[in-house]
Amino acid sequence: MKKIGIMGGTFDPIHYGHLVAAEMARAEFKLSKVLFIPTGTPPHKNRRDISAGEVRFEMVKRAIQDNPAFDISALEIEREGPSYTVETLRVLRRTWPEDELYFITGSDALLEIFSWREAEEIFKLIQFIGAARPGFDASDFFLKVQQEHPETQGKIHYLEVPALAISSTDIRARVRRGEPIRYLLPEPVRLYLEELGLYVE
């Protein structure tokens, strides 16, 4: 039985915080690989324009090219309509019926987990690794969740990732203000977004 990490996120853009989180999760949970899945049309996002799926996919592809344990899937980008995690997980379960799957994402995204479609079903399909920014403490929240929803017991894991002080929101704001973003994300990604003029107002 293998252990596989599924790294879900918008990745607009992907940055070193994401990459360090995936690598730390891989080592700590002994994952044989981490599959990055950029979201298609996120169901919960109408608050800002998100870069096209193909562009975010290309950024992730360039970012992970030098790590043989990282891979990418276009599953959500290619799917029509809103991207529900439960649907993605059902497809992945067919690929890996016997293996242990871990969904890695931002721990602040996990605070909303019970608003996700078929949240209870999701916990039958996968465990979670919440990658936390330094200073982020949601232990009370998760304790309460595990008390109220016994099916989540032992299925939400925490990983503090100091590199997550970097954020996609901050990178986009820096580009808008004409400030440097070098060393916050892999150079091939920086060159690509510069080439496309992404995030420039």
Footprint on this chain of ligand NAP (rule: CB under 6 A) = 7-10, 17-18, 21, 39, 42-44, 83-85, 104-106, 108-109, 112, 116-117, 131, 164, 167-169
Shortest Å distance, C-beta 128 to ligand NAP: 10
Shortest Å distance, C-beta 158 to ligand NAP: 12
Beta bridge partners, 130, equal 105, 158
* Residue number, 63 or 192, with CB nearest to ligand NAP: 63
- Yes or no: say if 75 and 87 are a contact pair by the CB < 8 Å rule: no
Paired tokens of 98: 């016997």
The size of the chain, in residues, is: 201
C-alpha span between 137 and 22 (Å, rounded)? 20
Paired tokens of 60: 């992730």
Shortest Å distance, C-beta 39 to ligand NAP: 4
Shortest Å distance, C-beta 117 to ligand NAP: 5
C-alpha span between 124 and 136 (Å, rounded)? 27
C-alpha span between 181 and 178 (Å, rounded)? 9
Residue nearest to ligand NAP (CB): 106
* Residue number, 1 or 126, with CB nearest to ligand NAP: 126
C-alpha span between 119 and 137 (Å, rounded)? 22
Shortest Å distance, C-beta 199 to ligand NAP: 13
Where does the chain show beta strands of DSSP type E?
3-9, 33-38, 70-72, 100-106, 127-132, 156-160
Shortest Å distance, C-beta 106 to ligand NAP: 2
* Residue number, 61 or 98, with CB nearest to ligand NAP: 61
* Residue number, 105 or 152, with CB nearest to ligand NAP: 105
* Residue number, 116 or 123, with CB nearest to ligand NAP: 116
Count CB atoms within 10 A of the CB of residue 30.
10
* Residue number, 92 or 104, with CB nearest to ligand NAP: 104
